[in-house]
């Protein structure tokens, strides 16, 4: 499944906020190119060609290649924050909320692995200001998961000695799915999400 197909299936419905259509096409083409070749090996000509446009047309919508990456990263991280905050603020026990957070986050990384690879692994390609903005969004992701784990420890549901370290481990597990998941593999995004939710609950010693 390429990025365009992921868009059609709903993963990149977040790109719906990118207008006009030409700007959206360029952004989707950039995601594909960055995921395939890496940010530094991708040229603006590569991106424009994938979008069926001239290089000059790209600069009408994006001043630089980095601006494209920044927008992709910001939208992707805002979606990640939303997924985790919804789970953290849901009803139910800490164990139920943590399982929901993990399964939802994993499904997003598996179902939209092309986008997620760019969002999660091209951070160091951003300039200082853009990188600082994305790091702030990552801290919000961390806070959402850490809050659930802290709730579970306080309620006696979880047995965790190092909340901060465990939070990092949980997020790392989820993020890494984007690196290896394949539609030709033995599990669907939903099945991987359920598996990881179970693994994380075991990790925190859920009662």
Residue for token digits 């790392």? 172
Structure pTM?
0.88
pLDDT digits (tens, 9 = 90+) for 45-102: 999 999 999 999 999 999 999 999 999 999 999 999 999 999 999 999 999 999 999 9
Closest CA to 120 of 6, 47, 39: 39
Among 109, 82, 91, 92, which Cα is nearest to 170's?
Answer: 109
Provide the residue-wise pLDDT of the chain in tens; the chain has 207 residues.
333 334 333 444 558 888 899 999 999 999 999 999 999 999 999 999 999 999 999 999 999 999 999 999 999 999 999 999 999 999 999 999 999 999 999 999 999 999 999 999 999 999 999 999 999 999 999 999 999 999 999 999 999 999 999 999 999 999 999 999 998 999 999 999 999 999 999 999 998
- CB-CB neighbours of 125 under 10 Å: 19
């Amino acid at each position: 499944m390429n990025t365009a197909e992921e868009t059609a299936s709903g993963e990149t419905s977040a790109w719906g906020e990118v207008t006009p259509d030409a700007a959206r096409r360029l952004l989707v083409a950039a995601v594909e190119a960055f995921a395939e070749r890496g940010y530094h090996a991708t040229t603006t000509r590569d991106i424009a060609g994938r979008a069926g446009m001239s290089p000059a047309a790209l600069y009408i919508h994006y001043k630089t290649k980095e601006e494209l990456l920044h927008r992709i990263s910001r939208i992707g991280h805002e979606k990640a924050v939303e997924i985790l905050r919804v789970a953290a603020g849901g009803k139910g026990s800490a164990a139920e909320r943590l399982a929901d957070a993990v399964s939802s986050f994993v499904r997003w990384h598996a179902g939209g692995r092309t986008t997620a690879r760019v969002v999660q692994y091209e951070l160091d390609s951003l300039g200082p200001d853009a990188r600082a903005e994305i790091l702030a969004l990552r801290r919000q992701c961390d806070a959402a998961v850490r809050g659930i784990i802290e709730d579970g420890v306080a309620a006696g549901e979880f047995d965790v000695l190092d909340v901060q370290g465990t939070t990092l481990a949980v997020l790392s597990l989820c993020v890494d799915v984007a690196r290896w998941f394949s539609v030709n593999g033995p599990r669907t995004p939903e099945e991987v999400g359920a598996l990881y939710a179970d693994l994380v609950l075991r990790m925190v010693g859920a009662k």
